[in-house]
């Protein structure tokens, strides 16, 4: 494991009844990287990803995040530590505007306290102004200004994915877990989405851990790429290196090298 790994997975396994979905997996996500996780259906990648995200607790092994043991912690606990996840199907508040969706993200806002609203309203107002400005900055960064006052439920699939990405920027996440970000997104908006992920990584220093079936997107964004098969990590490298490895091609694609080109 690297000394600069922000996520370290140590000998993690997950059993569902008689099925061992993940077997003694170890991997790391380097701080400042965009790390991809790929594998065929049934490889265990979604199960492993869900354990890192706090949706499943490992049967054995441990997961370290930014130096802290987070094994078994829930998603809301990981949120407070700076690990956020986007979903294959966007989870927007449909009847709120895009701007309001972003403003909902930061926790422990003074305006949520009835006592503060009554007795110290200036504090609540000042924080609301601060949060709104942050949301406007995020909308500007993502080039969503033309839909900031549109109900989120009316946005396109790609715009909803951009909005989810924006949510992670509202709390300056240490790591963003991207779950099938390309699903349901047209090519034009997917290019915008990928460009924003690259900008967040290069300009703002965000670390991403990506699970994705779109190999072109993985090749564009991710270095390194981790490959799983039959519940185990079998390789790690650049997409170019993996495509050139006949053993990996056979394990992942069950076919000749041409299948991944």
Quote the pTM value: 0.84
Structure tokens at 157: 């699939």
In-domain check, residue 85: yes
In-domain check, residue 159: no
Alpha-carbon distance of 229 to 25, in angstroms, equals 11
In this structure, are 195 and 249 located in the same domain? yes
In this structure, are 119 and 84 located in the same domain? no
Helix (H) or strand (E) holding 92: none
Query: What region, left, alpha or beta, does residue 44 occupy, with left being phi > 0 and alpha being psi -120 to 50 degrees?
Result: left
In-domain check, residue 162: no
Q: What's the CATH number where 50 sits?
A: 3.40.50.300
In-domain check, residue 146: yes
Q: What domain range is 113 assigned to? A: 93-154
Tens-binned pLDDT, residue by residue, of the chain (261 aa) = 556 999 999 999 999 999 999 999 999 999 999 999 998 888 999 999 999 999 999 999 999 999 999 999 999 999 989 999 987 666 788 999 999 999 988 755 444 444 554 555 666 677 688 899 999 999 999 999 999 999 999 999 889 999 989 988 988 789 999 998 888 888 888 999 999 999 999 999 999 999 998 999 999 999 999 999 999 999 999 999 998 888 777 766 565 434 443
């Amino acid at each position: 494991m690297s000394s600069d790994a922000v996520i370290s997975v140590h000998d993690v396994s997950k059993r569902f009844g008689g099925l061992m979905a993940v077997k003694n997996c170890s991997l790391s996500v380097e701080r400042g990287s965009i790390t991809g996780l790929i594998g065929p259906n049934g490889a265990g990648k979604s199960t492993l990803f869900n354990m890192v995200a706090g949706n499943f607790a490992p049967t054995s092994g441990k997961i370290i995040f930014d130096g802290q043991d987070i094994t078994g912690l829930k998603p809301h606990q990981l949120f407070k530590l700076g690990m956020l996840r986007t979903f294959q199907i966007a989870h927007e508040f449909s009847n709120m505007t895009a701007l309001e969706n972003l403003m909902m993200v930061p926790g422990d806002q003074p305006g949520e306290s009835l006592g503060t609203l009554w007795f110290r309203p200036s504090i609540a107002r000042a924080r609301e102004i601060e949060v709104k400005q942050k949301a406007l900055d995020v909308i500007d960064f993502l080039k969503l200004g033309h839909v900031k006052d549109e109900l989120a439920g009316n946005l396109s699939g790609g715009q909803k994915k951009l909005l989810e990405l924006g949510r992670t920027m509202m709390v300056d996440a240490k790591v963003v877990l991207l779950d099938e970000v390309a699903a349901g997104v047209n090519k034009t908006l997917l290019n915008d989405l990928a460009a924003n992920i690259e900008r967040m990584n290069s300009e703002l220093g965000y670390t991403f851990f990506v699970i994705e079936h779109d190999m072109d997107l993985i090749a564009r964004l991710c270095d390194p790429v981790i490959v799983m098969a039959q519940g185990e990590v079998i390789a790690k490298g650049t997409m170019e290196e993996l495509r050139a490895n006949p053993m990996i091609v056979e394990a992942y694609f069950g076919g000749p090298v041409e299948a991944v080109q």
